[in-house]
Structure 1
């Protein structure tokens, strides 16, 4: 469970970074279109099947 939280925080941090870079380089729409699905898809899978990733790593 801790690994899922760690990766969730990592994806959130990367999304915030993409928003910052999108604002800085005037590509905010691209940052949202690419960054939001890149954040939501892994977080969705972590929430739906939290033990699957752990069993794959063992």
Structure 2
């Protein structure tokens, strides 16, 4: 997935995604050439860690 696809899925601005990257708070990403990609497996694993237990 691209950062743009992640942001669309989460309905967040791209700036938020890149701020998470700086803070090491977002999903694991891989640089392929000059492109940043996030595997669907890594995205889903990260998303599972952000679940609110009270919901």
More strand by share: 2
- TM-score of the aligned structures, taking structure 2 as reference length: 0.32
Between 1 and 2, higher relative CO (CA 8 Å, sep ≥ 6) is seen in 1
- TM-score of the aligned structures, taking structure 1 as reference length: 0.31
More helix by share: 1
